[in-house]
Amino acid sequence: MACMGWINVALGVWLVVAACEVRQASGTAMIEHIATGLFVALAALWAALPFRPATRLVACWTVVLSGLWVAAPFAVAPERPSVSVTPDVIVGLAIVVLGTASTLTEARRIAGRPSQD
């Protein structure tokens, strides 16, 4: 799971770097990319660090949901050209897939532990 989390951290950082390097349609799009990239990177970092299993599970779900946000730029800004949307969809889907794998792994880990009640 740790490897998948670190890859999502890298994808979040890539979103921030791409926002600064790739020409954006507007300043709002650039700010959205930076904010979303930081959110993905921080949520993935939260999921990768050694917290309680339930806390990591919430963090993993947060990564998955933020990946869906990245993968659906057309829902947020339908006026953006498809050329600038395609990389967002690819990165967002990668975040969703890796985040889902982390979530399932963490859920299995929690289910396999005996109850501490």
Q: What is the pLDDT of residues 14-24, one digit of tens each?
A: 888 887 776 66
Q: Is residue 12 part of a domain?
A: yes
Q: Is residue 44 part of a domain?
A: yes
Question: What average pLDDT is seen over the chain?
Answer: 79
Q: What is the pLDDT of residue 117?
A: 40
Question: Domain containing 21: what range?
Answer: 2-112
Q: Is residue 28 part of a domain?
A: yes
pLDDT, mean of residues 8-35: 80
The answer on pLDDT for 82 being more than 70 is no
Residue 49 confidence class, pLDDT cut points 50, 70, 90: confident
Q: Is residue 14 part of a domain?
A: yes
**Contact in structure between 56 and 44 (CB atoms under 8 Å):** no
100 compared with 82, residue with greater pLDDT? 100
Q: Which alpha helices (DSSP H) does 1-117 contain, by range? A: 2-21, 27-48, 53-71, 73-76, 82-112
pLDDT, mean of residues 20-37: 76
Domain count, the chain: 1
In the chain, how long is the greatest CA-to-CA distance? 54
Q: Is residue 117 part of a domain?
A: no
Q: What is the model's pTM? A: 0.77
Compute the Cα dihedral for 3, 5, 9, 11 and give only its sign: positive
pLDDT, mean of residues 39-63: 85
Q: What is the pLDDT of residue 57?
A: 83
